[in-house]
Amino acid sequence: MNIKTRKEFPDFVAFVSDVDLKDDLTVEQVKKIDDAINKFSVLVFKNQNINDEQQVRFTKYFGEIEASGNKSNITKASDRRLSTDLADVSNLDKNNKPFTQNDPRRIFNLGNRLWHTDSSFKKIPAKYSLLSARNISKEGGNTEFADMRSAYDNLDTKIKDKVESMICEHSLIYSRQRLGFDMTQELSSDEIKNFTPVEQPLVRTNKSTNRKTIFLSCHIGKIRGWIRPDSMCFIDDLIEYATQSRFKYDHQWSQNDLVIWDNRQTMHRARAFDDLKENRDMRRTTVLGEEKLL
């Protein structure tokens, strides 16, 4: 296995080659990948022509799978295209046709265009995400990543002190509100309970490396003890700061790329493409986090 980094950003994003993710991996290989995730936060594997079962098997080397169900999205079980081991991050319905413009599932998925960390709205937020590009768009559809360790390290001391013990509420309702999509109007009162806000600290420590990160996400709608408008202004300023080009990597997909990112120390977002016409088939497996943060 070979791990290469970029000259200008030696500790963020690495490219892993000489490993076939279809194969059984040795304990040493798994440890090498896991250590690299801790160190580089984002790993890119090229030419990994895997199916769902192989993706799930590879993911389980790193922990338990976080199921994609009614706490993760608004797709009914009977409308799913993929098993609940996979988050369907495509723009496709179960007949592999692009969602039409006003389909609530399409509009819900547009939330991935906002900077976020996966499942920060769950009591135990996600650890790693593994995204496999089965079919890519001809134009657009990049994914951007931002390094929340460097963003934390480069904060002014005053801001570091201010955020140190801040606690934020995260919910899919908040991120979708930013799109003008009011889930409370679309869903029944029973369904909406799945999306009750969850509190998370704004500063967290990666226990494997002891490095601090800012745990930001567009799912944040409120800071504990603050009113919502002040919270939104403060969080948006932080997101703008933390996603400057000096902290960012822009991934342009090739078919069969697999990218792993560490949700404890990065944010990411999808970029626009012609989703009413093109077929972008991206499938994500997610490694469950290991702990509640509060």
Residues interacting with ligand OGA, by CB under 6 A? 89, 112, 118, 129, 131, 143, 268, 270, 282, 284
Separation CA 223–CA 121 (nearest Å): 14
Partner from Mn ion, ligand OGA, none contacting 89, C-beta within 5 to 8 A by type? ligand OGA
Total of residues contacting Mn ion (CB under 5 A): 1
Does residue 169 touch Mn ion according to CB under 5 A? no
Q: Which is nearer to ligand OGA, 200 or 263 (CB)?
A: 263
Determine contact, residues 169/220, Cβ cutoff 8 Å. yes
Q: Which is nearer to ligand OGA, 212 or 268 (CB)?
A: 268
**Structural tokens at position 201:** 């600290």
Name the residue with the smallest CB distance to Mn ion: 118
Question: Nearest approach, Cβ of 132 to ligand OGA (angstroms)?
Answer: 10
Q: Which amino acid is at 161?
A: D
Partner from Mn ion, ligand OGA, none contacting 183, C-beta within 5 to 8 A by type? none
The residue with tokens 């919910």 is 171
Separation CA 31–CA 62 (nearest Å): 9
Tell me the CA distances in angstroms from 268 to 41, 118, 252, one per residue in order.
11, 9, 13
Q: Which amino acid is at 131?
A: L
Q: Which is nearer to ligand OGA, 136 or 155 (CB)?
A: 136
Q: Which is nearer to Mn ion, 145 or 155 (CB)?
A: 145
Question: Nearest approach, Cβ of 121 to Mn ion (angstroms)?
Answer: 11
Partner from Mn ion, ligand OGA, none contacting 270, C-beta within 5 to 8 A by type? ligand OGA
Question: Nearest approach, Cβ of 273 to ligand OGA (angstroms)?
Answer: 9
Question: Nearest approach, Cβ of 268 to ligand OGA (angstroms)?
Answer: 6
Question: DSSP secondary structure string, 88-112?
Answer: E-SSB-TTS-BPPTT-HHHHHHGGG
Nearest Cα residue to 118 out of 287, 247, 257: 287
Q: Which is nearer to ligand OGA, 163 or 282 (CB)?
A: 282
Question: In degrees, to the nearest 5, what angle opens at C-alpha 256 toward C-alphas 254 and 261?
Answer: 85
Separation CA 219–CA 71 (nearest Å): 14
Binning the chain into helix, strand and coil, the percentages to the nearest 5 are 30, 25, 45
Stretch 104-133: interaction string toward Mn ion, x if CB under 5 A: --------------x---------------
Q: Which is nearer to Mn ion, 21 or 270 (CB)?
A: 270
Question: In degrees, to the nearest 5, what angle opens at C-alpha 97 toward C-alphas 96 and 99?
Answer: 120
Q: Which is nearer to ligand OGA, 55 or 234 (CB)?
A: 55
Name the residue with the smallest CB distance to ligand OGA: 270
Pairing of strands 128-135, 2-5: unpaired
Separation CA 188–CA 177 (nearest Å): 17
Question: Nearest approach, Cβ of 158 to ligand OGA (angstroms)?
Answer: 32
Query: Which positions touch Mn ion (CB under 5 A)?
Result: 118
